[in-house]
């Protein structure tokens, strides 16, 4: 009688979000699907102190790209810029093309595999918005590695089993 | 072990879960304007608690919710009611498990209230967000509402004594963020989110996270295996072990956890933990550790400190399980942790038939058929469902999520006509093969990049 699994809705440890996949972070240290956007940070190729903050809105497919000091990106063309393209490519590595396309409501072909395919499907248009909220999400992200580990038990993490042996 | 005892239902658990399911359904649309069905579910919750000391408070909270004027205090009463039902289910299930395993368990000691964690303003901020969530319901969440948690979570994580609440809220908010807006979600994880929300409301009550002075313990520690927990921004390794003390063998756990980022996954996470507990290396080397005056909670959790531990003699987990597991006594579960998700009792099973199928592996024991909890099997070690399907003996954790399951920590399996032992935590102290070493190096590189970026951008 115990062999039957309860439906997903009735399980305490149901998996809701698939874990991210590891990727190289040198060029795009941060990317996320959050706040209704694909958003993240791209390191500048020429200035080690500078990063670009790029985002693409799921609701209307407008995109934004500026430096962390709020200067506009000089490379903006129809359909995006190099930073947005790098961001889309890394998002696909991290989450898989299906999840990125679904989040952005992008109608991609079944055999699409790349960030470029997602961007081609949405026909992004430029609309400057504030980069600061995305940059502050990035700083928050970096702050996790500054927090100290602990050997006190965190019993609530029983709700969050590490997975990945079956995909 | 009498597995047949686990095959029959435990009295009252189904009924308790029916009441809980009704309440959890109310949270889908939110507490603002409950409909007829939701009002009936709330009354059923009050009725279930009517013979308990919570009766008056819960009845009042239900009346106020139905009338549309709910306060923090009423939410706390509703959560207390739900938690009491699941706590009682936990206790009944654990008692059955102890009976089946012939395991003796210490009673929970009467203790003082402990030292309050303080930071009442942070707890209030957390409660305020949790109220907003409950009122909106899972279908009513949007990006703005989810991001309201950010500040509170960041502050909670920075306060070590409130880390439990911070890590819970962060994992919960991450799922909400990934699923928002709620109106267009294809399916809602109804039980899970009600669980996470309710536990967070409990921990956000002043005094819930009060610190209690730990005791100390000495003896030889024999690891059984590692249970690994992970969400995008946290990882915890929990070592289950038998501690040989002057008073006989005891089951204990030793945890180590670290904040992390979402791209650090798989075998890359061990390096975040290794520096803070020499026990992980001992697990990989299959050694005992000799403990002297190691702090321990009443719940059987060692508060690990390398200063109180020395590497000991070789110790093989299956030998430990075969010799010690049947007689080791277990610690009681702290009241605020009592929920069936917390059931994770080490057992040794042998003499079974394992059958692989599309969704996992089924284990048939004399008197009991049990599913392997393959979703709790991780990619950070060499143990795979295929090895479990080929196994003849297993050290695992008995768990319960609507039915009993087993989470393997180690198996003995036939590989090329030889019996080999494979451990889920084998890479805790260091990867043994080329693929594992590569994953570790990639994770180390990721950490380096992020630390460099943090150095340039964070402290400005």
Chain A residues whose beta carbon lies within 8 Å of the beta carbon of residue B385: 165-166
Mean pLDDT of B113-136: 91
ipTM above 0.95, yes or no: yes
Our CA dihedral for B331, B337, B340, B345, rounded to 10 degrees, sits at: -30
B235-241's contacts with Cβ under 8 Å and 24+ in sequence apart are B235/A162, B235/B260, B235/B264, B235/B269, B235/B272, B235/B273, B236/A153, B236/A154, B236/A157, B237/B270, B237/B273, B237/B277, B237/B280, B237/B425, B237/B428, B238/A153, B239/B279, B239/B280, B239/B283, B239/B425, B240/B344, B240/B346, B240/B397, B240/B409
Task: Read off the pLDDT band of B432 (50, 70, 90).
Answer: confident
What share of residues in chain B are helix, strand, coil (percent, to 5)? 45, 25, 30
The 10s digit of each residue's pLDDT in B44-85 is 999 999 999 999 999 999 999 999 999 999 999 999 999 999
pLDDT at B459 over 70: no
**Residues in B 298-337 with any Cβ partner in A closer than 8 A:** 299, 301-305, 334, 337
B378/A21 CB distance under 8 A? no
Mean pLDDT of B408-422: 94
B268/A22 CB distance under 8 A? yes
For chain B, what percent of residues have pLDDT higher than 70?
Answer: 100
The 10s digit of each residue's pLDDT in A71-118 is 999 999 988 999 999 999 999 999 999 999 999 999 999 899 999 999
Q: SS3 of B69, please? A: coil
| Contact indicator for A17, A32 with CB cutoff of 8 Å | no
pLDDT at A5 over 90: no
Residue B340: partners with Cβ closer than 8 Å, 6 or more residues away:
A12, B86, B89, B90, B93, B400, B401
Task: Read off the pLDDT band of A16 (50, 70, 90).
Answer: very high
A3/B377 CB distance under 8 A? no
pLDDT of B460:
55
Chain B residues whose beta carbon lies within 8 Å of the beta carbon of residue A143: 154, 454, 458
pLDDT at B128 over 70: yes
pLDDT of A24:
94
Residue with tokens 């987990």: B317
Q: What is the mean pLDDT of chain B?
A: 95
């Amino acid at each position: 009688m115990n062999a039957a699994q309860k439906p997903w809705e009735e399980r305490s440890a149901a998996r809701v979000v698939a874990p991210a996949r590891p990727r190289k972070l040198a060029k795009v240290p941060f990317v996320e699907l959050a706040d209704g956007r694909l958003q993240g940070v791209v390191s500048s190729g020429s200035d080690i102190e500078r990063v670009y903050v790029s985002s693409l809105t799921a609701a209307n497919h407008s995109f934004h790209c500026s430096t962390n000091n709020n200067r506009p990106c000089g490379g903006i063309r129809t359909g995006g810029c190099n930073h947005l393209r790098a961001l889309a490519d890394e998002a696909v590595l991290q989450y898989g093309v299906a999840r990125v396309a679904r989040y952005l409501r992008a109608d991609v072909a079944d055999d699409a595999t790349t960030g470029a395919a997602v961007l081609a499907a949405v026909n992004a248009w430029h609309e400057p918005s504030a980069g600061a909220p995305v940059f502050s999400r990035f700083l928050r992200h970096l702050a996790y590695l500054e927090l100290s580990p602990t050997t006190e038990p965190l019993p609530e993490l029983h709700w969050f089993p590490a997975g990945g042996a079956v995909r | 072990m009498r597995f047949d005892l686990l095959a029959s239902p435990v009295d009252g658990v189904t009924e308790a879960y029916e009441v809980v399911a009704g309440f959890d359904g109310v949270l889908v649309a939110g507490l603002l304007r409950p409909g007829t069905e939701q009002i009936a579910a709330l009354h059923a919750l009050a009725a279930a608690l009517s013979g308990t000391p919570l009766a008056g408070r819960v009845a009042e909270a239900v009346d106020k919710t139905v009338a549309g004027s709910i306060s923090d205090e009423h939410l706390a009463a509703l959560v207390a009611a739900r938690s009491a039902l699941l706590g009682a289910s936990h206790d009944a299930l654990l008692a059955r498990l102890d009976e089946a395993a012939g395991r003796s368990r210490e009673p929970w000691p009467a203790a003082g209230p402990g030292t309050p964690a303080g930071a009442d303003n942070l707890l209030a901020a957390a409660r305020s967000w949790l109220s907003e969530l409950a009122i909106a319901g899972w279908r009513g969440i949007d990006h703005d509402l989810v991001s309201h948690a950010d500040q509170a979570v960041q502050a909670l994580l920075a306060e070590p004594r409130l880390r439990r609440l911070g890590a819970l809220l962060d994992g919960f908010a991450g799922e909400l963020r990934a699923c928002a807006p709620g109106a267009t979600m294809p399916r809602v994880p109804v039980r899970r989110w009600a669980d996470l929300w309710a536990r967070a409301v409990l921990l956000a009550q002043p005094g819930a996270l009060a610190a209690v002075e730990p005791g100390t313990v000495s003896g030889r520690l024999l690891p059984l295996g590692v249970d690994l927990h992970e969400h995008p921004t946290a990882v915890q390794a929990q070592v289950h072990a038998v501690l040989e003390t002057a008073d006989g063998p005891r089951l204990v756990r030793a945890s180590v956890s670290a904040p992390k980022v979402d791209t650090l996954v798989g075998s890359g996470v061990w390096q975040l933990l290794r520096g803070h507990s020499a026990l992980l290396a001992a697990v990989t080397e299959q050694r005992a550790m000799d403990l002297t005056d190691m702090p321990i909670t009443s719940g059987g959790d060692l508060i690990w400190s390398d200063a109180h531990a020395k590497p000991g003699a070789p110790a093989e987990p299956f030998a430990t399980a075969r010799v010690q597991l049947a007689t080791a006594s277990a610690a009681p579960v702290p009241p605020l942790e009592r929920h069936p998700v917390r059931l994770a009792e080490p057992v040794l099973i042998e003499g079974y038939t394992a059958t692989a199928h599309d969704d996992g592996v089924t284990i048939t024991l004399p008197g009991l058929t049990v599913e392997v909890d393959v979703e709790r099997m991780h990619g950070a070690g060499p143990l795979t469902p295929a090895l479990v399907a080929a196994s003849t003996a297993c050290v695992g954790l008995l768990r319960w999520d609507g039915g009993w399951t087993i989470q393997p920590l180690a198996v003995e399996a036939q590989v090329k006509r030889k019996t080999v032992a494979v451990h889920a935590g084998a890479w805790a102290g260091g990867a043994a093969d080329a693929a594992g070493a590569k994953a570790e190096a990639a994770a180390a590189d990721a950490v380096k990049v992020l630390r460099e970026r943090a150095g340039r951008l964070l402290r400005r």
